[in-house]
Amino acid sequence: MLRTYDMKQVRKNVEEYFKKHLPQYAVLEIRKKSVFQEDNYLFMVSAINNEDGTYAVWTCWNEITQSLNYGHYNLPCIEGCKKVFEEFYNNGK
C-alpha cells in the first residue's frame, strides 16, 4: 500500500527547505506533480523572489528525499508559473 502525504506537512517541509537553501524566495503554491498514485510523493512548487520580484517554479519536490529540482527562474508574472505547472503536470496522456 502506498503512503499518502499530508499537504500541510509537505508545505512545512518545503518552507523549511527554502529557509535554509533559498531564503530569497517565498513559497506561493505547491501542486501535485502527477495524476498517478505511484507518484504521490512528487510535487511542484512556485515562489516569488523577494529580492527582484520575479517568479520561479521547480517541477519536482521529492517529499521522500526532501529535495528540489528542475527550476524555471526569472518568470515575469504568476501566470508564467501556472503555465509551467500545466506543462509539467503528468496527467497520464
Amino acid identity of residue 63, one-letter, is: E
Q: How far apart are CA 58 and CA 44, in angstroms?
A: 6
pTM of the model: 0.95
Looking from the CA of 73 toward its CB, the CA atoms found within 13 Å total: 8
- Asked whether the predicted pLDDT for residue 1 surpasses 90, the reply is no
| Domain residue extents for the chain | 7-88
- Asked whether the predicted pLDDT for residue 92 surpasses 90, the reply is no
pLDDT tens-digit series, residues 10-32: 999 999 999 999 999 999 999 99
- Asked whether the predicted pLDDT for residue 44 surpasses 90, the reply is yes
pLDDT tens-digit series, residues 47-78: 999 999 999 999 999 999 999 999 999 999 99
Residue written as grid cell 527582484:
52
Phi, psi of 45 (to 5 degrees): -130, 135
Q: Are the C-beta atoms of residues 70 and 59 closer than 8 Å to each other?
A: yes
pLDDT confidence bin for 42, thresholds 50/70/90: very high
